[in-house]
Amino acid sequence: MAKRITATDVAAYYGGFKAIDGVSLTIEPKSVTALIGPSGCGKSTFLRTLNRMHEVIPGARVEGKVLLDSEDLYGVGVDAVAVRRTIGMVFQRPNPFPTMSIYDNVAAGLKLNGIKGKQTLDEAVERSLRGANLWNEVKDRLSKPGAGLSGGQQQRLCIARAIAVEPQVLLMDEPCSALDPISTLAIEDLMTDLKDRFTIVIVTHNMQQAARVSDRTGFFSLEATGEPGRLIEIDDTSTIFSNPSEKRTEDYITGRFG
Amino acid sequence: MTTLTALRPTRSVSTAALYGLGTVSVLAALGLVRGAGSSSTALTVVVTGLAYLLLAFALVLAVEGRRAAVDRTFTNLAWGSFLLALVPLVSVIALVVKNGSRRFDANFLTHSLRGIGPRDSNGGAYHAILGTLEQVGLASLIAIPLGLLAAIYVVEHGRGWLVSAVRFVTDVMTGVPSIVAGLFVFTFWVLALGRGFSGFAASLALAILMLPTVVRTTEVVLGLVPDSLREASLALGVSRWKMVLRVVLPTAASGITTGIVLAIARVTGETAPLLLTALNFDSINSNPFKGQQAGLPSFVFAQAGQPQQAAVDRAWAGALTLLLLVLLLNLVARLIARRTRLKD
C-alpha cells in the first residue's frame, strides 16, 4: 500500500511570490525521507504540495507534476479531497479536535468520510492507536477529550488520526518541534515502525533527527531572501551526512551556514 | 543595596484593620453628610467610598509602603467601578420584580385581555406571551439559518468583493433603528403587498433586526477557530462542507449560541416594529399569519399608557414576564452549549 512519489519541476506560489522552484525528486516507498534546510527555504511548502494542502491557502498555486506511482496528483479531474485521503499529514503543533473524545478524534477521518459500523470503527481506532504507540496509555479513557492529553500524546493521537484513514504516504511537518526529548524519541521510534507500511516524508529542523530516522535526506536552500527555495541535493542519508556532493550541503550540515 | 528580602514588606495590614477602616469610613461619611444638612443615601455612599479610598491609601502607605498603597488603591477603584456598574442592572431588576409581582400570577399567565377594561383588576397577558413566542420564534427561524449561512460563507468560503459587500451591509444593518425596520415591513409587506397586519409581519421586521447580530457574532466566533483544525480535517481527506459542519461549527458552538441568544434577547423586547406590523390585540390570536396579534412589548406599552393603576400593574407584570422569558432563554441556551462540550 505504500507508493512512490515522483515530483518533476515543482514550483509553488503564494500569490505573486514564488516560494519554491524547480524541485524534482523521487520519494521511495516504505522508507523515511527527510527534508532539511534553513528556515524559509520552502521545505514545508514543498511538503504541502505533495498532498495538495498548499492550494488551501488563498492565492496559493502549484506548477509542475507530482506523480503518485503513475497518477498525476495535479492532473485534470483529480479530486484534491481524494488525494488528501491517500496522502495523510501530521502538523508541527498537535491539533486534536477539541470537541471530540480520543476515540472520535481517531475515528474522525473515517466517520467524516461516511464509514459507519461500530465494530469497523472500534477496530480501526484500536489498530491506529496501537500503530501510534498510544493504545496502552489511553485505552481506559477513550471517551475523554483528546485535548486533555500531554503534548507528546496529542501528537501521537494526531498520527493515529492520520493513519486511521489508511493513507499510502504520511507527510510530517516538523512533528517534534513542539515536543520534549522523550516524546520526540517516542515519535521517532514510531516512524521507524510505520515505515514498514507507509511512505514517510518528514520535514525537520533537527539534523540529528534526520540522521537518526531517515533513509534518504533532501537538502533545500535558497540563494537569498525573496528568492525561491530549491532542492540542492537528495541522496542516501549516510551519504548526505558524510560525503555530500554539494559544498552548500556540507556547509549547512557542518554548521558553517544557516 | 536592596536585597529581595528587603523588598518584602515586613508588616502588613490585616483584614480586620480594613474592616475597621470601612466602619470608620461609614461613620465619617454619615457625620459629614448629616453635618452638611443632607440625608441623601446616595451621597453618603459616595462619600463613604471616597473616604475608604483615601483612608486605605494612607494606612497601607504607612504600614506597607508606597507600592502596596497604590496597588490597594487601584484594586479598590476596580471594585468600586464594578459595584457602580451593578447599580443600574440590579435596580432595574429589583424594580421590575417588585412592581411586577403584584399581578404576576396564574390568572395573569393564563388569561387574555378579552373584555377587560383598564379599570378591571383581572385579565392577563396570555395572548401577548403567545404572540411574542410566535413572532420571535418565526423571526429566529428566518434569521438564524440565514445569518449562520452568511457568516459561514464570509469566513470559510468567501473571496473578494462579495465578502466586503456582506460585511458592509451587515454593518449598516446593525445601525438600522428598529422603527425603520418596522416601517419597511409596514410599507412593503403590509401595504404594498397588501398582506395586512399579522404576527408574521412582525417576525419579518424582527428578523431584519436579528440578522446582522447573528452574522456578526457568528463571524467573529468562527474567526476564532484555529486554522490548524481546518487544516487537520482537510488533511484527513474531508470535504470542505463536512469540515465546516463537523469540526468548525462544533468548536464554535458555545460562542455561536451566545450570539444567537443575544440576538433573540435583543428583539424580544422590541416594541416599535410590533406597533407597525402586528399592531396589538386584546384577544388570543394563535395564527401568526392572519390578523393583528399582541406581543409582550406592545402589551406593556399599551397598558403602561393607561392612567388606571390596574392597567399599570398589568404593564409591570408584563415587563416581568418579558424579563423572565429572556432569562429562561439564556439558561436554556447555556445548557445546550454545555451539553455539546465534552466533560473532562
Residues B161-208: pLDDT tens digits?
Answer: 899 999 999 999 998 999 999 999 999 999 999 889 999 999 999 999
All residues at 6 or more sequence positions from A57 whose CB lies less than 8 Å from its CB, including other chains: A14
Type of residue found at A205: H
Is B342's pLDDT higher than 60? no
Instruction: Looking at the structure, tell me whether residues B202 and B314 fall in a common domain.
Output: yes
Select from A53, A93, A101 the Cβ nearest to the Cβ of B234: A53
Instruction: Looking at the structure, tell me whether residues B82 and B149 fall in a common domain.
Output: no
Is B6's pLDDT higher than 70? no
Distance CA B223, CA B217 (A): 10
Number of domains observed in the structure of chain B:
2
> How much is the average pLDDT of A183-206?
89
Select from A82, A91, A165 the Cβ nearest to the Cβ of B231: A91
Q: Which residues pair with A101 in a beta bridge?
A: A145
> How much is the average pLDDT of B106-113?
91
Average per-residue pLDDT in chain A? 90
Total residues belonging to chain B: 344
The pLDDT tens digits for B27-66 are 988 888 888 888 888 888 888 999 999 999 999 998 888 8
Which residue on chain B is closest to A166 by alpha carbon?
B236
Q: Is B44 in contact with B33 (CB distance < 8 Å)?
A: yes
- All 3 cell numbers of residue B8? 518584602
Distance CA B206, CA A213 (A): 62
Give the angle B254-B257-B259 at the CA atoms, nearest 5°: 115
> How much is the average pLDDT of A148-160?
91
Is B2's pLDDT higher than 60? no
* Residue B313, domain extent: 126-340
Pick from B326, B329, B330, B313: nearest CA to B98: B313
All residues at 6 or more sequence positions from A184 whose CB lies less than 8 Å from its CB, including other chains: A152, A176, A209
Select from A95, A109, A165 the Cβ nearest to the Cβ of B229: A95
A5-94+169-253: CATH, from 3.30.70.100, 2.40.10.350, 3.30.300.30, 3.40.50.300? 3.40.50.300
Say if the Cβ atoms of B237 and A109 lie within 8 Å: yes
In a domain, B100, yes or no: no
Is A258's pLDDT higher than 60? no
Binning chain B into helix, strand and coil, the percentages to the nearest 5 are 75, 0, 25
Tell me what pLDDT residue A116 has: 86
Give the angle A157-A158-A160 at the CA atoms, nearest 5°: 65
DSSP state of B297: H
> How much is the average pLDDT of A241-258?
84
Lowest mean pLDDT among A229-243, B122-136, B154-168: B154-168
Say if the Cβ atoms of B238 and A109 lie within 8 Å: yes
Which residue on chain A is closest to B338 by alpha carbon?
A99
For the residues of A197-236, what is the DSSP string, one character each?
Answer: TSEEEEE-S-HHHHHHH-SEEEEEEESSTTSPEEEEEEEE
Strand order from edge to edge, sheet including A5-14: A71-72, A60-68, A5-14, A17-27, A229-236, A216-222, A32-36, A199-203, A169-173, A87-90
In a domain, B83, yes or no: yes
**Residue B247: count of CB within 10 angstroms of its CB:** 24
Say if the Cβ atoms of A88 and B235 lie within 8 Å: yes
Distance CA A149, CA A183 (A): 12
In a domain, B121, yes or no: no
Q: What sign does the CA torsion over B153, A107, A82, A93 have?
A: positive
Distance CA A28, CA A7 (A): 12
Q: Which residue has the cell 465494530?
A: A119
Say if the Cβ atoms of A165 and B236 lie within 8 Å: yes
> How much is the average pLDDT of B263-285?
91
Instruction: Looking at the structure, tell me whether residues B60 and B151 fall in a common domain.
Output: no
Tell me what pLDDT residue B169 has: 92
> How much is the average pLDDT of B133-149?
96
Select from A58, A83, A112 the Cβ nearest to the Cβ of B233: A112
Q: Among the three residues B47, B73, B94, which one is the final residue of a domain in this structure?
A: B94
Collect all residues of chain A within an 8 Å Cβ-Cβ radius of residue B232: 91, 95, 97, 158, 161
ipTM summary value: 0.87
For the residues of A133-170, what is the DSSP string, one character each?
Answer: T-HHHHTT-TTSBGGGS-HHHHHHHHHHHHHHT--SEE
Say if the Cβ atoms of A165 and B237 lie within 8 Å: yes
Is B3's pLDDT higher than 90? no
Pick from B101, B53, B54, B100: nearest CA to B76: B53
Say if the Cβ atoms of A158 and B232 lie within 8 Å: yes
Q: Is A244 in contact with A253 (CB distance < 8 Å)?
A: yes
Instruction: Looking at the structure, tell me whether residues B90 and B135 fall in a common domain.
Output: no
Confidence of residue A204 (pLDDT cuts 50, 70, 90): very high
CATH number at residue B262: 1.10.3720.10
Say if the Cβ atoms of A95 and B228 lie within 8 Å: yes
Q: Is B232 in contact with A108 (CB distance < 8 Å)?
A: no
Say if the Cβ atoms of A95 and B251 lie within 8 Å: no
Pairing of strands A199-203, A32-36: parallel
Collect all residues of chain B within an 8 Å Cβ-Cβ radius of residue A172: none
In a domain, B213, yes or no: yes
Collect all residues of chain A within an 8 Å Cβ-Cβ radius of residue B251: 97-99
Give the angle A45-A176-A98 at the CA atoms, nearest 5°: 85
Type of residue found at B134: E
Instruction: Looking at the structure, tell me whether residues B89 and B155 fall in a common domain.
Output: no
> How much is the average pLDDT of A230-244?
92
> A45, A78, A99: best mutation site toward chain B, by most B Cβ within 10 Å?
A99
Distance CA B285, CA B131 (A): 8
Tell me what pLDDT residue B101 has: 92
Confidence of residue B343 (pLDDT cuts 50, 70, 90): very low
What is the rounded radius of gyration, in angstroms, for the C-alpha atoms of chain B? 27
Q: What sign does the CA torsion over A156, A162, A168, A170 have?
A: negative
Select from A98, A158, A165 the Cβ nearest to the Cβ of B251: A98
Confidence of residue A49 (pLDDT cuts 50, 70, 90): very high
Pick from A96, A107, A91: nearest CA to A157: A96
Instruction: Looking at the structure, tell me whether residues B166 and B248 fall in a common domain.
Output: yes
B240/chain A closest Cα distance in angstroms: 9
In a domain, B99, yes or no: no
Q: Is B196 in contact with B185 (CB distance < 8 Å)?
A: no
Which residue on chain A is closest to B237 by alpha carbon?
A85
Is A185's pLDDT higher than 60? yes
Q: Which residues pair with B311 in a beta bridge?
A: none
Q: Which residue has the cell 395586512?
A: B196
Select from B236, B242, B343 the Cβ nearest to the Cβ of A161: B236
- A148 in reach of chain B (CB within 8 A): yes
> B154, B238, B248, B340: best mutation site toward chain A, by most A Cβ within 10 Å?
B238
Instruction: Looking at the structure, tell me whether residues B22 and B78 fall in a common domain.
Output: yes
Is B4's pLDDT higher than 80? no
Lowest mean pLDDT among B77-86, B162-171, B329-338: B329-338
Distance CA B10, CA B18 (A): 18
| Percent of chain B topping pLDDT 70 | 95
